[in-house]
C-alpha cells in the first residue's frame, strides 16, 4: 500500500516552522526522520494532507546549559550513542538509543520524533523519565516544559497541544549512577519490557533511592521511586513490588504474566548494576 497524496512544505526558518505547525495543526504533520510516520502513512493509519519538513531546523550541538544537558529535537539516535557528553553524564541514554531498531533507523530517527510518536515501548521516553528529563515544546505562543514522565499520555498520544512542536530535551546533570536493560525476542525488535534506573541520594544524605522507569508494561512509561538501602534484600523487594504494581498488556507478542516476570528480572538486574556503579 502507498501513502495518499500530500503536499510538502519546507520551512526555511525556525519561525516559519512554528507558523506552518500552527497553520497545519489539523490537516498536517511534521516529518523529521520519517521512520515512524512514513510507515504509518503507507499503512494509511494516518493521512495527513500536508507534511511540514523539520529538515535541519531542529538540529544543533548537544551542550550543557544552566546545569542541564540540552539535546536538540533533531538529534539522531546514532548521535546519542556516540556523543561524548551523553556518554559521560547519561550512559543509560546512550545504551537505550543503541537498542533502537537497526542502523538505518538509528541514523535517520530523531529524539523529537521518537517522543512525539509516543510509543509506550519506545526506549527514549522510558530512559528520559528515569533521568528526570524535561521536554521543551514550542509554538507561536511561546515555550513550555513538560516532565518526561508526563509526556507520553497513552498509546501514540503525547502531551503536545495542536500547533506545538518538540524543540529540545533537557536533562539535569548530576552524578547519578544509572543503568538500562531490555528484553526483545530478536535484536532490533521493539522491546517486550524495558527498564531504566537512576540512583538518587535521599535528601537527608542517608540512603539511596532507585528511580525506576519501565516501558512495555502499559500505555505509557511507569515510574517508581524505591528506597534500595533499607534492608539487605531491598533490591529484590523493590523489584518484586514494582512487578506486582504494573499491569502489563496481554497480546500476541507476550502474555501479561510473562511481561510481569520480565519486569521483576530486569528491574532487579538494572538496580543492581546501577548500584554497582555508585559510590
Nearer to ligand FAD among residue 154 and residue 231 (C-beta):
154
CB of 245 to ligand FAD, least distance (A): 23
Q: Mark the segment that binds ligand FAD (CB under 6 A) among 2-10, 85-93, 97-105, 255-263.
A: 97-105
H or E stretch including 230?
none
CB of 5 to ligand FAD, least distance (A): 17
Nearer to ligand FAD among residue 36 and residue 178 (C-beta):
36
CB of 19 to ligand FAD, least distance (A): 14
DSSP state letter for 10: -
Nearer to ligand FAD among residue 37 and residue 196 (C-beta):
37
Cβ neighbours, 10 Å, residue 106: 21
Distance of CA 8 to the CA centre of its chain: 27
How far is 72 from 66, CA to CA, in rounded Å? Answer: 15
3-state secondary structure at position 100: coil
CB 214 within 8 A of CB 264: no
Alpha helices in 3-49 (DSSP H): 14-23, 37-42
How far is 214 from 1, CA to CA, in rounded Å? Answer: 34
How far is 169 from 137, CA to CA, in rounded Å? Answer: 9
Q: Supply 147's cell numbers.
A: 516532565
Which of 78, 80, 86, 116 touches ligand FAD (CB under 6 A)? 116
CB of 265 to ligand FAD, least distance (A): 20
Residues numbered 155 to 214 that lie near ligand FAD (CB under 6 A) are 160, 165-166, 190
Which of 83, 95, 123, 200 touches ligand FAD (CB under 6 A)? 123
For residues 6 to 45, the per-residue mask of contacts with ligand FAD, x marking binding by CB under 6 A and - elsewhere, is -----------------------xxxxxxxxx-x------
Which of 19, 105, 147, 272 touches ligand FAD (CB under 6 A)? 105
Work out whether strand 50-53 and strand 7-9 pair parallel, antiparallel, or are unpaired: parallel
Which residue matches cell numbers 524543540?
167
CB 193 within 8 A of CB 182: yes
3-state secondary structure at position 174: coil
Nearer to ligand FAD among residue 28 and residue 177 (C-beta):
28
Nearer to ligand FAD among residue 109 and residue 177 (C-beta):
109
CB of 51 to ligand FAD, least distance (A): 8
Which residue matches cell numbers 519490557?
193
120 binds ligand FAD (CB under 6 A): no
Binding site for ligand FAD (CB under 6 A): 29-37, 39, 54, 58, 73, 100-101, 105, 108-110, 112-114, 116-117, 119, 122-123, 160, 165-166, 190
Amino acid at each position: 500500500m502507498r501513502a495518499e497524496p500530500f503536499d510538502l512544505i519546507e520551512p526555511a526558518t525556525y519561525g516559519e516552522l512554528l507558523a506552518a505547525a500552527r497553520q497545519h495543526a489539523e490537516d498536517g504533520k511534521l516529518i523529521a526522520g520519517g521512520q515512524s510516520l512514513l510507515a504509518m502513512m503507507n499503512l494509511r493509519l494516518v493521512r495527513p494532507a500536508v507534511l511540514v519538513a523539520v529538515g535541519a531546523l531542529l538540529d544543533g550541538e548537544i551542550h550543557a546549559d544552566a546545569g542541564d544537558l540540552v539535546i536538540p529535537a533533531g538529534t539522531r539516535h546514532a548521535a546519542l550513542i556516540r556523543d561524548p557528553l551523553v556518554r559521560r553524564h547519561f550512559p543509560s541514554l546512550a545504551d537505550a538509543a543503541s537498542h533502537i531498531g537497526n542502523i538505518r533507523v538509528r541514523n535517520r530517527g530523531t529524539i523529537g520524533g521518537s517522543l512525539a510518536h509516543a510509543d509506550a515501548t519506545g526506549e527514549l521516553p522510558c530512559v528520559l523519565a528515569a533521568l528526570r528529563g524535561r521536554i521543551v515544546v514550542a509554538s507561536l505562543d511561546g515555550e513550555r516544559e513538560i516532565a518526561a514522565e508526563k509526556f507520553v499520555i497513552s498509546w501514540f498520544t503525547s502531551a503536545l497541544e495542536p500547533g506545538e512542536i518538540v524543540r529540545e530535551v533537557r536533562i539535569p546533570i548530576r552524578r547519578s549512577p544509572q543503568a538500562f536493560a531490555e528484553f526483545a525476542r530478536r535484536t532490533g525488535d521493539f522491546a517486550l519490557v524495558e527498564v531504566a534506573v537512576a540512583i538518587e541520594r535521599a535528601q537527608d544524605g542517608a540512603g539511596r533511592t532507585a528511580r525506576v522507569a519501565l516501558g512495555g508494561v502499559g500505555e505509557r512509561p511507569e515510574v517508581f521511586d524505591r528506597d534500595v538501602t533499607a534492608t539487605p534484600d531491598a533490591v529484590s523487594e523493590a523489584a518484586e513490588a514494582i512487578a506486582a504494581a504494573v499491569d502489563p498488556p496481554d497480546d500476541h507478542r507476550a502474555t501479561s504474566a510473562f511481561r510481569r516476570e520480565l519486569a521483576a528480572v530486569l528491574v532487579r538486574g538494572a538496580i543492581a548494576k546501577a548500584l554497582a556503579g555508585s559510590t
